[in-house]
Amino acid sequence: MSDEQVQALKEPGGSAGDVFTEEERAAVRLAEKLTAWPASIQQADLDALGRYFNVEQIAELVLTIGTANLTNRINEGMRTPVDV
């Protein structure tokens, strides 16, 4: 990944650039919507995912994103110290 691509990822909305493939952008859009406001997911979002992923893969994406969100909320809510 070039320095320019890394910098693009650091900017707000960095996922919109040419850093990711269309397939990756569809997955990132799902992650963003599922994290911020799940009710905002539209049929068009699912159709975009369906171009690259089958039903089982989409279910796995949703489960993985949801699990990460749950873990983050528990850790933030409990103020779990970050172990680096």
Q: Which amino acid is it at 39?
A: A
- Predicted confidence at residue 12, as pLDDT, reads 60
Better-scored residue on pLDDT, 7 or 30: 30
Q: Quick one: tokens of 41?
A: 């997911």
14 pLDDT higher than 80: no
pLDDT at 41: 94
Across 50-57, average pLDDT: 97
Q: Is the pLDDT of residue 1 over 80?
A: no
Q: What's the rounded Cα separation, in Å, for the pair 40 and 45?
A: 9
- pLDDT grade, residue 53 (50/70/90)? very high
In the DSSP assignment, the letter for residue 82 is: P
- At 16-52, the pLDDT tens digits run 567 788 999 899 999 999 999 999 999 999 999 999 9
